[in-house]
Amino acid sequence: MTSIGIIGSQGRMGHALVNAIGEQEELSHAGGVDQDDDFAALLAQSDVLVDFSVPDGLSNRLDLCAAAGKPMLVGTTGLEPAHHLSIDAAAKTVPVLQTGNTSLGVNMLAALVKEAAARLGDDWDIEIVEMHHRHKVDAPSGTAILLGEAAAKGRGVDLNDHSERGRDGQTGARAKGAIGFASLRGGSVAGDHQVILATDEERIELGHRAENRMIFARGAVKAALWLTQQQPGRYDMTDMLGLD
């Protein structure tokens, strides 16, 4: 039986993860921690850790996981470059899967976006529109960034050099080859994402709508179980799904 520890256990995803773990007989819930709890004790009881908390303290948690030899799934969004460096460092010692979204459907969408971007020229404008509940604190969403990275990878470019965000006022014409982002917030929306590829006189719209947060929890549990069978390294959901 594989024991899964939850970081951010009192959040919406934390509660969903407990339910998802309970759906599978081969899994057990090792317990959960939040910002002021004893992470070392949870480490000792867990075979793998799943983090859906906040970026603050992530680097320290990764260091502790690496020292204890415990795999970790990082589903926390709003990460900065320093967090990614910490993930890279920990991945030299233990398996680490980092993703902006654990939904199997969203990651299949990302594969489709990458393929479309690779096959269509930069005369096709790419826009990513996302909507989430009113309580979400970061924008664009981790999923929107994941989709943007898929589009950029398909085109063979760096997303940081080709993204447009927060347009307002006299912005000038849209830059050729840009990948645009728009973020909407309201109500209790679990997550809606649409990728629009538009050129003269035609457009393609690829989308995903999350109807219940359990889709993320079930995907995270599946990925965490997969992670326990991997060698040290940095992974994402496409590795788990065998999409690359």
The residues that are catalytic are 132, 136
Of the candidates 149, 106, 144, the residue with the CA atom closest to the CA atom of residue 128: 144
Report the C-alpha gap between 124 and 178 in whole angstroms. Answer: 10
Report the C-alpha gap between 171 and 173 in whole angstroms. Answer: 7
Structure tokens belonging to residue 218:
């079930």
Query: Angle, to 10 degrees, between the axis of helix 214-227 and the axis of helix 12-22?
Result: 60
Burial class (CB in 10 A: 0-12, 13-18, 19+), 222: middle
